[in-house]
Amino acid sequence: MAATLTAPRMDVQALAVPLLVIMILTMMVLPLPPILLDLLFTFNIALSLIVIMVCVHTPRPLDFAAFPTVLLLTTLLRLSLNVASSRVVLMEGHTGPDAAGKVIEAFGHFLVGGNYTVGIIVFIILVIINFVVITKGAGRIAEVSARFTLDAMPGKQMAIDADLNAGLIGEEEARRRRAEIAREAEFYGSMDGASKFVRGDAIAGILIMLINIIGGLIVGMVQHGLDFQTALNNYTLLTIGDGLVAQIPALIISTAAGIIVTRVGGESEGDVGAQLLGQMFNDSRVLYIAGSMLGVMGIIPGMPHFAFLLLGGLTGGIGYLMDRRAREAAARKTQEEVAPPPAEMPEVSWDDVVPVDVLGLEVGYRLIPLVDHTQNGELLRRIRGVRKKFAQEMGFLVPPVHIRDNLELKPNGYRITLKGVEVGQGEAFVGQFLAINPGRVVGEVKGIKTKDPTFGLPAIWVDSEVREQAQAFGYTVVDASTVVATHLSHIIQQHAMELLGREETQQLLDRINKESPKLVEDLIPKVISLGTLQKVLQNLLAEGVHIRDMRTILEVLAENAPRTQDAEQLTANVRVALGRAITQQLFPGNSEIQVIALAPRLEAILMQAAQIPSTDGPGLEPGLADQLLKGISQAAEQMEQVGLPPVLLVPGPLRAVLAKFLRRSIPQLNVLAHNEIPDGRMLRVAHTVGS
């Protein structure tokens, strides 16, 4: 029954616009009686009023994305009414001023007092206001907005990708933001073109008026035998009424277009009325000064004292009321912030021993609004997003981030600690944006030059007014909360190995125990200790391998642990089992795996050196070690330049020692063993080191 009732309504909505277009085109061809013209002219005025009210109460331009189409349809409706009314005026104008209906008669007779000279002047003034002032300005704003919106699209897309990679937003939110950016560009582009309709409508109105007056004189004098004065009076008044009844809705629609394209702000600022009142009458000092100036002008001899003194008094009174309201709000806030009397200090106990935070974030006093619950601190939500994204990608939940203020830091400074030791620091400015130069910007912006604290890229702290310009120049622009959250996310990725403690390892076992209790029961602690399992997982995390597939990891350990308890050898066995996941993480899909390989002679030397026990890596002479490091570093840099992850492919016995040897100098390098490449994947050697 519900489907039966809904279908017709959807059909009517789908047919509404085609029927309107057909009606508009029909009015241009078929003659209409005066009574129908009255209804259609009234409908046109009502439609224009509805449109301007929607524009005034729309928080964002994109919320009225259909406005360019509405602009086209209303323009066509006015022109078709002009054609229909012109036909009636020329055919029946000799009968009197009501020949084309009561609406045209009212606009042509009563509004201008029956004086066609006044009517022509009023009509020309309306056309000038519409064509020269409102339409031209709105068209220029739409043109500039379209250009800057298109220029800023790459920067906005990169900012969305940065938020997505940092875990601050999900895939659904990223898709929504990208779609909104595309809609914004399409909207301003459409508005740029639609503004030409209104300009053409104004020109057409002038031409139609001249044609109707000249044509009316010819028809009235030649065909109906009217004298010149009578013909001029009848046809001019009808033409003026016709022009005014069309130009007033056109002026309203043009004003609506100007309101739409000049909107600045978002949903939080409300409609135009709330935005204007909130920004123009928010400072009582402005009202005091304006009221004083009106009062001074009111006492000047010869001035209209009543009007100036009345408005001056009202303006000053409104300023006084606003000032008193602000003082009362400040007094209430001060009372709420009064601290209670200090209680008697208790005896010292073990509760006073503060444990070291695993993860900590310390901020200067100017960054407190970012982490304050009462001030809707955006950074708190972003940190939760970082932890959630890391847990989804790596397979375990990092400890909570303990946030506190530190007066020893710079006012805008922050630092990230790991087990009480600083591992990262930087500066962020609340209310400003960090414009990061990805290496291909097309211009400079004004601001405080600095470096991105996460990756060390050149950057500039800019004000909100410069944000759009920076995005148009190709900068990646992020706010202060995103800067800190991205830095924290990078630190967590770097130190994932240290963040996996015994407690986190036990929580992983408890979680897998719900799905595979027999596997956990037979393995821990009968075959392998919890400490050895933790070490294997830490070895995987140290090289960026996720541990989401705990079932496979435990099954491999259950199979190999009876033969060896060496964590390094067990890690190698687990990596072979996870080979498909490791290569998929580096080369998604079934794409070709491009790697760096060692020359056979160098590989043989390293295999021989790997037999010599050493805690610092393979036992190589310094010259050979330096050449090896330089060659692999150059090859890795070349692969990064073409957008490929740098991967070194070596025999199994060399993988662990080379990974440990190269990790500090080339942290972005991935070292894989031959037996970690799954069957069926295409392999190509892109660079050979030592040839």
Superfamily of domain 355-496: FHIPEP family, domain 1 (3.40.30.60)
Residue with tokens 């199979």: 559
Q: Is 239 helix (H, G, I), strand (E, B) or coil?
A: helix
CB atoms within 10 A of CB 108: 27
pLDDT of residue 414: 93
pLDDT tens string 232-288: 777 777 777 777 777 778 778 778 777 777 765 444 455 555 655 656 666 677 777
Residue with tokens 């070349």: 638
pLDDT of residue 2: 39
Query: What is the mean predicted confidence (pLDDT) over 216-233?
Result: 74
Using left for φ > 0, alpha for ψ between -120 and 50, and beta otherwise, residue 355 falls in beta
pLDDT of residue 612: 56
Using the predicted structure, report yes or no on whether residue 528 has a pLDDT greater than 90: no
For the chain, what percent of residues have pLDDT higher than 90?
A: 6
CATH code for the part of the protein at 589-691:
3.40.50.12790
pLDDT tens string 594-644: 888 888 888 888 888 776 555 444 556 777 888 888 888 888 888 888 888
Using the predicted structure, report yes or no on whether residue 416 has a pLDDT greater than 90: yes
The first and second tokens of residue 123, run together, are: 């009509």
pLDDT of residue 9: 47
Higher pLDDT, 433 or 256: 433
Query: What is the mean predicted confidence (pLDDT) over 179-201?
Result: 73
- Distance (Å, rounded) from C-alpha 271 to C-alpha 258? 14
Query: What is the mean predicted confidence (pLDDT) over 462-468?
Result: 89
Least confident piece of the model among 95-104, 214-223, 323-332, 585-594 = 95-104
What would the DSSP string read from start to end of 522-572?
HHTTTTS-HHHHHHHHHHHHHTT-----HHHHHHHHHHHTTT---HHHHHH
Least confident piece of the model among 108-112, 313-317, 642-646 = 108-112
Query: Which regions of 252-396 does DSSP assign to beta strands (E)?
Result: 359-363
Residue with tokens 């009372």: 335
Using the predicted structure, report yes or no on whether residue 7 has a pLDDT greater than 50: no
pTM for this structure? 0.54
- Distance (Å, rounded) from C-alpha 311 to C-alpha 676? 84
Query: What is the mean predicted confidence (pLDDT) over 662-667?
Result: 84
Least confident piece of the model among 92-101, 222-231, 437-446 = 92-101
What would the DSSP string read from start to end of 567-597?
HHHHHHHHHHHTHHHHHHHHS-TT--EEEEE
pLDDT of residue 267: 47
Query: What is the mean predicted confidence (pLDDT) over 159-170?
Result: 74
Q: What is the 3-state secondary structure (H, E, C) of 148-191?
A: HHHHHHHHHHHHHHHHHHCCCCCHHHHHHHHHHHHHHHHHHHHH
pLDDT of residue 121: 78
The first and second tokens of residue 386, run together, are: 């970082």
Domain limits, the chain = 31-269, 281-325, 355-496, 500-577, 589-691
pLDDT of residue 216: 75
Least confident piece of the model among 70-74, 396-400, 461-465 = 70-74
pLDDT of residue 417: 92
pLDDT tens string 321-341: 877 777 777 777 776 665 555
- Distance (Å, rounded) from C-alpha 310 to C-alpha 681? 86
- Distance (Å, rounded) from C-alpha 679 to C-alpha 397? 32
Query: What is the mean predicted confidence (pLDDT) over 338-366?
Result: 74
Least confident piece of the model among 191-205, 329-343, 446-460, 487-501 = 329-343
- Distance (Å, rounded) from C-alpha 286 to C-alpha 289? 5
Across the chain, what does the average pLDDT equal?
Answer: 79
For the chain, what percent of residues have pLDDT higher than 70?
A: 85
Per-residue pLDDT band for 5 (boundaries 50, 70, 90) equals: very low
Superfamily of domain 500-577: FHIPEP family, domain 3 (1.10.8.540)
- Distance (Å, rounded) from C-alpha 143 to C-alpha 189? 7
The first and second tokens of residue 407, run together, are: 């007066």
Using the predicted structure, report yes or no on whether residue 508 has a pLDDT greater than 50: yes
Q: What is the DSSP letter of 97?
A: T
319 with 295: CB under 8 angstroms? no
- Distance (Å, rounded) from C-alpha 396 to C-alpha 58? 45
Contacts for 301-305: CB closer than 8 Å, 24+ residues apart: none
pLDDT tens string 289-305: 777 887 777 787 777 77
Rg (CA), the chain: 38
Per-residue pLDDT band for 98 (boundaries 50, 70, 90) equals: low
- Distance (Å, rounded) from C-alpha 390 to C-alpha 515? 22
The first and second tokens of residue 130, run together, are: 């519409």
Per-residue pLDDT band for 459 (boundaries 50, 70, 90) equals: very high
- Distance (Å, rounded) from C-alpha 433 to C-alpha 446? 12
pLDDT of residue 426: 92
Output the CA torsion sign for 149, 154, 155, 159: positive
Of the candidates 205, 193, 46, 73, the one whose C-alpha atom is nearest the C-alpha of residue 127 is 205
- Distance (Å, rounded) from C-alpha 310 to C-alpha 617? 89
149 with 191: CB under 8 angstroms? no
pLDDT of residue 462: 92
